[in-house]
Amino acid sequence: MSESYKYLDPNFVYTYPDTGVLRNLPGIKNAEDLIFFESAAVSKRIKELNEHPIKIKGIKSLFEIHKHLFQDVYEWAGQRRKVEISKDGNQFFPTTHFENAFKYIDALILEYKKIPKKEVLEIAKKLAEILDAVNYLHPFREGNGRTQREFIRLLALEKGYKLNLNPPDNKNIYEQYMKGTINGDVEILTNLILELLNQ
């Protein structure tokens, strides 16, 4: 996780006060050990979602995906964050306005579902718009990137397309993805998604 992330959590809702490590179900208090455990647990759950994809019904499905991916790691898996998060001095969406964001993203998803399967450019544009909105929302204390990539992958799958925004053997794709999400650059995300969509 980047050191440029900042969290307002004075009451240690999410971390062990003595180590600063995220509270987790196995009780791991070493940061590197937790990263290793989390990576293995989440990889297994991602594989399950690949084998048994769920249908995206709206923003609630994002929470369902997070719960599935992180159920072995965090008690709060699938729950909205209770702290404010910023990266490089830029704050993500404030928790006090989450309901408005949920409605907006649900509207984007409804628009997406109306796009014909053959309209590849329109599909890429709308997926990029949804990804940008979900990333700015950043509704979870941890695991936002992995959850939103699965969310977008499953939306693409509903139109008959395969989409992998984090292939293990292509660092360039991940760098473009990060550049697009960090800067809120929908054009970069659109071009990346368009390039990666496969039937």
User: Which residues form the domain of 15?
Assistant: 5-196
Total-model pTM: 0.94
**Residue 18 CB: number of other CB atoms within 10 A?**
8
Task: Tell me the per-residue pLDDT of 71-130, one tens digit each, with 9 for 90 and over.
Answer: 999 999 999 999 999 887 788 999 999 999 999 999 999 999 999 999 999 999 999 999
Which of 169 and 77 is assigned the larger pLDDT?
77
- Taking residues 164-168, report their average pLDDT: 87
CA dihedral 77, 59, 192, 167 (to 10 degrees): 30
**Residue 109 CB: number of other CB atoms within 10 A?**
21
Length of the chain measured in residues: 199
pLDDT bucket at 137, cuts 50 / 70 / 90: very high
Based on the structure, what is the number of domains in the chain?
Answer: 1
Does the pLDDT of residue 59 top 70, yes or no?
yes
Task: Tell me the per-residue pLDDT of 186-196, one tens digit each, with 9 for 90 and over.
Answer: 999 999 999 99
CATH of the domain at 46: 1.10.3290.10
- Taking residues 18-36, report their average pLDDT: 96
- Taking residues 11-36, report their average pLDDT: 95
140-166 burial by CB neighbour count: b if 16+ within 10 A, else e?
bbbbbbbbbbbbbbbbbbebebebebe
Could you give the residue ranges of the DSSP H alpha helices within 28-119? 31-51, 59-70, 98-113
Query: Residue 33 is which amino acid?
Result: D
Mean pLDDT of the chain: 94
